[in-house]
Structures are given as structure tokens and as C-alpha cells.
Amino acid sequence: MTFMERLLAWRNERGAFGFYAVLLATAVLVPLLNLAVPEGSPLHMSTYTVTLVGKYMSYAILAVAVDLIWGYCGILSLGHSAFFALGGYAMGMYLMRQIGTRGVYGNAELPDFMVFLNWSELPWYWQGFDMFWFAAIMVLLAPGLLAYVFGWLAFRSRVTGVYLSIITQALTYALLLAFFRNEMGFGGNNGLTDFKEILGFDLKAPGTRMALFLATALALGVAFAAGRMITGSRLGRVVQAVRDAESRTRFIGYRVESYKLWLFVFSAMLAGVAGALYVPQVGIINPGEFSPINSIEVVIWVAVGGRGTLYGAVLGAVVVNYAKTWFTTVLPDIWLYALGTLFVVVTLFLPQGLVGLISKLKLRRGAA
């Protein structure tokens, strides 16, 4: 192992340890500050902030999913918001079925938007979503199946580089247009909202919000561990070889398409889980989640944090979304300009993202 390889391995080990330390501290401190500290105290964390942190962690799971295929396999997907949204819709359909007679029209079988549009019966593809276990399976199956079909066709045809990126963007845009249509039966432009409960618990209750936050933190830890396990395995080494020299890897005898397809499907399912955890916390899912700009933003998160590290993707997701929250509150008109400037600066001056910048600063401090 060369010196640089040892240095990268050491950095990744320290980064992984730091990630788990921060995640554990967050999972402990947030409930304490929310539940144990009185509301009048400046240290009290509101339920709104708890939900906001939970949303950031959902985005972090999505960033890990993108980093797995982009940072380690070299597949630049500009359509991962499609898998995120499909997982979100699967969970949203379950939550809509839990409303029952508490909707505006009081129809226990049909969601309000179907009653408004004069639907006479529940579509066949809504059947089963009154059961949580079925919805949980669909959270994984819907994005996984789409990724398998898309990936099998694309990788078998050896579509790579910018052409693959454009096709993934076209995929999510096509889904955006489809889900906007009222005839699809997914709420059209308004999407799915006005959720009441999950697993029998009131979604607006502080305890339920905290449980969703902890579930998201646990899912983020598992996603990160799974990513580390994959990238550190023989499969991960082959995938990185595909990223660095795809033709040479194929000539050696590896079925490159199979490795890319497997990782692409796993990444899509991970994105679906992120979407499923996102929806009950924000309280809505609509076709806007399919927007190609959302997928581009995810790529920016990973680039800002540092691709090919996993923990860098998490860092980028949190930092950029916190900046987005601040900018859209204080200076809403310049957020997109700030985001574009950030991406250009990172691309030109910080190719390894914030993680690379921190490592360089530490090396300079050690040399001094």
C-alpha cells in the first residue's frame, strides 16, 4: 500500500469515527434539549427544529446514496430525486389511507382528492397501502424496480458519462410530468398531504415527531454503515476500478454492467428510504420532488462535502441545506445565485470538497 493510499485510509477511518460520534451526540442531545429543557430556556429546542434536523438527516441519506454511485462508481445520476420521490409517495399513500373518515369528505375508502375528482372506487395500485408492512415493501420495491429496469437497459447498452446523466434527468422529468396529471391518481399538482397519523400515533404529537427523528438518525447510521461495508469489500474495490478504468476492468474479465447495476439498484432503494422518512416529517409529497433541479442539488451537496468519502456527502447535505434554510428566510431572492456560485467555487478550487479542505489545513498545520 502506497503512502497516499495509507493516508486516504487513515482519513476515512477518522472521518467515519467522527461521523458516528456526531450522529450519536445529535441523537442524544436533540431529545434532551427538546423534552428535558423547559420551553422558556434559551437552550430549549422546539419541535419545529427537531423536524428540521430530521429533514436534514433524510437528505443526508439521499446524499449517501448518490455518493455511492458517483463518488465510488463514477455514475453521475441527475435523476435520483425520482427514487426519493417514489419512496415518499409510497409512504404518503399509506398515510393517506390512515386518514379514514377524518377527511373533508369523510370517505373512509377514498382520499379527499379522489372524491373531489369524482372517482368512484379506489384504483388497484392503491390496494394494500392501508397496511404499513406493505407500504414499507413498496418503499424499497418501487424505486428498486425502476432502477433495475432503467439500469439494465442503460448499462447493457454501455451508455456512460454525460449521456447517462442526461437520460437520468429525462427519466425524472418524465415522472414529474406524469405525476402532475390528475388521471394518475396521486393528487396531481397538490400531491398528498393533510396526514393524520402513522402506526396509530398522531403525527403532530411531539412524541411522534421525536420518534421519527430517532428513526431517521438510526436509518442514517445504518445507511452509512452499509455504504462503508460495500465500499470496503471486494465488490467495492471492483466498483472503484470501474470508476477509474472501466475498459481495463472489463478486459480483465469482470462483468462491469452487473456491478454497476447492483450498486445502482441499492442506491435507488436507499434514496427511497430517505423519501419515506422525509414525508411524514414535512407532511407533504407532491410532483415537485421529481424536479430535475432537486437531483442537481443533491449532486452539489456531495460535491461540496467531498465525494468518495460518504461522510463528506453527509456534511455537504447538512451544510448546504442549512444555508438554504437561512438564505430562503433572510435573502430568498439570491439563494439560487448563491448555490450556483458555491458549486462553481467548489469545482474550481475545492475538487475534494470541504473534507479535502479540512485535510489540507490539518496537513499544513502539522507541517508548521
- CATH number of the domain that residue 118 is part of: 1.10.3470
Q: Is residue 8 part of a domain?
A: no
Burial class (CB in 10 A: 0-12, 13-18, 19+), 135: buried
What is the helix (H) or strand (E) element at residue 363, kind and residue range?
helix 353-367
Question: Nearest-5° angle of CA 237, CA 241, CA 247?
Answer: 150
Name the DSSP letter for residue 109: S
**Taking the model in full, what pTM does it have?**
0.94
**Domain contains 22:** yes
Q: Is pLDDT of 3 > 50?
A: no
Would residue 10 count as lying in a domain? Answer: no
Please tell me the predicted confidence (pLDDT) of residue 40. Answer: 84
Q: Which of 87, 59, 66, 78 is nearest to 321 (CA)?
A: 59
Any domain includes 189: yes
Report the alpha-carbon distance of residue 239 to residue 230 in Å, rounded: 10
CA of residue 275 relative to chain centroid, distance = 6
Q: What percent of the chain has pLDDT over 70?
A: 95
Instruction: Give the domain range for residue 353.
Output: 15-367
Quote the mean pLDDT of the chain.
90
| d(C-alpha 280, C-alpha 203), whole Å | 7
Q: What is the pLDDT of residues 267-320, one digit of tens each?
A: 999 999 999 999 999 999 999 999 999 999 999 999 999 998 999 999 999 999
pLDDT tens, position by position, 311-353: 999 999 999 999 898 888 888 788 878 888 888 888 788 788 8
For the ranges 62-66, 157-161, 275-279, 318-322, the lowest mean pLDDT is seen at 157-161
Report the chain's C-alpha Rg in angstroms.
21
pLDDT tens digits, 182-220: 999 999 999 999 999 999 999 999 999 999 999 999 999
Residue 285 lies in a domain: yes
- How many angstroms separate the CA atoms of 363 and 361, rounded? 5
Task: Look at 276 and 119; give whichever has higher pLDDT.
Answer: 276
165 falls within a domain: yes
Q: How far apart are CA 278 and CA 213, in angstroms?
A: 10
* pLDDT band, very low/low/confident/very high, at 33 (cuts 50, 70, 90): very high
Q: With 80 as the cut, is the pLDDT of residue 11 above it?
A: no
Assigned domain for 233 exists: yes
Q: Is the pLDDT of residue 10 over 80?
A: no
Give yes or no for residue 1 having a pLDDT over 70.
no
Q: Please answer whether residues 148 and 257 qualify as being in contact, where contact means their C-beta atoms are separated by less than 8 angstroms.
A: no
- Please state the separation of Cα 158 from the chain's center in Å: 26
Q: Is residue 1 part of a domain?
A: no
User: What pLDDT does 366 receive?
Assistant: 64
Q: Give how many domains the chain has, as a whole number.
A: 1
